[in-house]
Structures are given as C-alpha cells and as structure tokens.
Amino acid sequence: MSISFESISKAFGQKQVLDQVSFKVNTGEILFILGKSGMGKSVTLKTIVGLLKPDAGDVSIGEMCVTRLDEEGLSEARKLCGMVFQHPALLDSLTVYENVAFGLRTLSPAQARERVIECLKLVHLDESCLNRKPPEISYGMQKRVSLARTLAPSPRYLLFDEPTTGLDPITTNAINELIFELSRKLKVTSVVVSHDMGCAVRIADRILVLDNARILAMGSVDEIKENKAQLIQDFLKEAI
C-alpha cells in the first residue's frame, strides 16, 4: 500500500507551487521532502490527505484515488492517514485526554482510555498530563500530544509538516528519534516535510528535494550526498 503522486500541478493565483510533480512512497519507508521555505512542501502534504485539491494530476493512497473522492470518501481515506501539523493544532477547549481521544469516537470509553494511554507512552508522556489543557503544557509537550493524537486511530501512513521547526536542539532530536522509532516499530509509511537536512540525513530512507515547483533530486541519502546541485550542497553544508 503505497502513496503515489502523479503529475500533480497546483498554482495559487500567479504563483506555480507544484509543476507536474510525480513520486511514489513505498510501504514502510521514511521519505523526507526538502526544499526552501515556500516551495510547495506543505501543499504536497495537504494534497495527499485531500485538504487541497490539485489543478491537475492524481494522488492515490493504496487503491483509493484521493483526488476523485468527495468529502465522505475522503473521510475513509483519512482514517488511513495521520497528519501532524506544523503547529500542535490541539483543541484549546479540550483536555489532553479528550484531544488524543478525538479520533476514537467508535471505541468504547474503556478501550479509548487504554488506547490514549498507550499512545501517550509511545511519545514518552505519562498519565499526569491527561487532565491538563493545551495552554497549560509546554510547546514541546504539545507537539508530542499532537503526535499521540495522530497515532491514536492507528493510521498506516504518517504525514509530518515541519515537525521540528522552531524547537530547541534537544527536543528536535527527541522528535526525530520518535519518528524513526514509530516508523520501524509500527511499520508505518512516513512522509516528512522539512527544511532540516540534518534530520533527513540521519533518519530518512529516501530524500526528495523540491525547487521551483519541480523535483530537483530524489533518491537514497547516499545518492543525494553525491548530487552536485548547488542547492543540495548548500543544504548539506548546514547539516554538517
């Protein structure tokens, strides 16, 4: 069950953000999408999960063609995908428990509680924060709760939108290790959008670099390291 992105084009007004971009994400791998800010990375993720509709092209998750689905069909597709947003995007009026349990409406209260605690354990949080509200916990904790919320419905695909932007180096490392651990432990397919080449080099299986609405390079970490393009070399310099 892979994600396939076929000749996707998307423009916002005059600005062409994606131009005939095609790639495939294989089952169980971690794909990093890199590029400078504003180069269409978040748009890519939102198109996969149907929050944005492309101007041309098709996106398929497994057998389902996401671009052809209506809102109800998308609901089904989204049960397989979990997206972690750039900001924690926790619901401020609900407690941590209620936030994480949000996607678990179909379970009984007892089952939901078990699952919530399990997911919080996966992101290295304990039960003490269950009854607190998002404004009462630190930003790093909010990011982890947001990750737990995404994991709760057991998605097969995880999409991360700049998970470590704006975090201190220690928390950044923690989040990166979490992504790697989850991907291997839960055998999910992960697509991570970032401009942190250092993370990519450490945990990605494949890297895709976007520049000027097109794919500049795609391949394994070693292949990217060999690539002579200026942008990639600049990115790599920062990573080291």
For other proteins, the binding residues (CB under 8 A) are: 46, 49, 51, 71, 75, 78-79, 81-83, 85-87, 89-92, 102-103, 105, 146, 149-150, 153
Looking at the Cβ atoms of 150 and 176, the one nearer to other proteins is 150
- The 3-class SS string of the chain reads CCEEEEEEEEEECCEEEEEEEEEEECCCCEEEEECCCCCCHHHHHHHHCCCCCCCEEEEEECCEEHHHCCHHHHHHHHHHEEEECCCCCCCCCCCHHHHHHHHCCCCCHHHHHHHHHHHHHHCCCCHHHCCCCHHHCCHHHHHHHHHHHHHCCCCCEEEEECCCCCCCHHHHHHHHHHHHHHHHHHCCEEEEEECCHHHHHHHCCEEEEEECCEEEEEEEHHHHHHCCCHHHHHHHHHHC
- For residue 49, the minimal CB distance to other proteins (Å) is 6
Looking at the Cβ atoms of 83 and 199, the one nearer to other proteins is 83
- For residue 97, the minimal CB distance to other proteins (Å) is 15
- For residue 75, the minimal CB distance to other proteins (Å) is 5
- For residue 89, the minimal CB distance to other proteins (Å) is 4
Looking at the Cβ atoms of 10 and 46, the one nearer to other proteins is 46
- For residue 236, the minimal CB distance to other proteins (Å) is 30
Looking at the Cβ atoms of 5 and 85, the one nearer to other proteins is 85
Looking at the Cβ atoms of 31 and 83, the one nearer to other proteins is 83
